């Protein structure tokens, strides 16, 4: 339990560091993203205990869907705000996503080297 607290303090502290950078340097990026990059950088430098941070981070990542849910609720209350634009929104989302998936697949098929061993992926889940 103390490990979770230590990890949560790391996550909060790194977020605050991210916010500090965003404010001081007037970055057009959210504090969370800067914090995420800082976190990765710190771990690469072996600063901070991975066990502690993972103990607090894993449950938070698992709960991401629930944390954004209140934002999703809002979509049912804005129908009038964007009247007349729903066709544009629907086409952009449906056709746009189909097109971008197609592009990604074609690009990756072009760029990706063949798998080391056919049908037996070497990379294990980390």
Partner 1 sequence: MSDALIALREALLATPLSSTALTLAAYLAALWAVERLGRPSWCPAVLLAALLVAAILWGLSIDFADYRRGADWLMLLLGPATVALGVPLYQQLHHIRALWKPLALSLPPAAALASCYSLALAWALGASPEVLASLAPKSVTAPIALGIVEELGGSVPLLMGGLLITGVMATLAVRLLGPALGIRDHRILGFALGVNGHAVGTVRAFEMSPSAGAFASLGMSLTGILTALCLPLAWRLLGL
Within residues 5-64, the interface with partner 1 by CB under 8 A covers 8, 11-12, 14-15, 18, 28-33, 35-40, 43-44, 50, 53-54, 56-58, 60-61, 63-64
Rounded Cα distance between 48 and 40, Å, is: 11
1 binds partner 1 (CB under 8 A): no
Render the burial of 59-75: b for 16+ CB within 10 Å, e for the rest. eeeeeeeeeeeeeeeee
**Shorter beta-carbon distance to partner 1: residue 12 or 20:** 12
Candidates 71, 80, 83, 117: give the one binding partner 1 (CB under 8 A): 71
Greatest CA separation found in the chain? 54
Q: Does 88 bind partner 1 (CB under 8 A)?
A: yes
């Amino acid at each position: 339990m103390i490990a979770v607290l230590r990890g949560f303090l790391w996550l909060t502290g790194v977020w605050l560091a991210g916010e500090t950078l965003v404010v001081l340097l007037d970055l057009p990026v959210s504090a969370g993203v800067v914090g995420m990059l800082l976190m990765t950088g710190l771990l690469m430098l072996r600063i901070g205990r991975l066990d502690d941070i993972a103990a607090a981070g894993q449950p938070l990542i698992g709960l991401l869907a629930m944390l954004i849910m209140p934002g999703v609720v809002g979509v049912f209350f804005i129908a009038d705000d964007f009247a007349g634009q729903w066709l544009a929104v629907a086409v952009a989302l449906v056709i746009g996503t189909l097109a971008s998936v197609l592009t990604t697949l074609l690009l990756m098929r072009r760029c990706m080297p063949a798998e080391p061993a056919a049908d037996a992926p070497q990379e294990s889940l980390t």
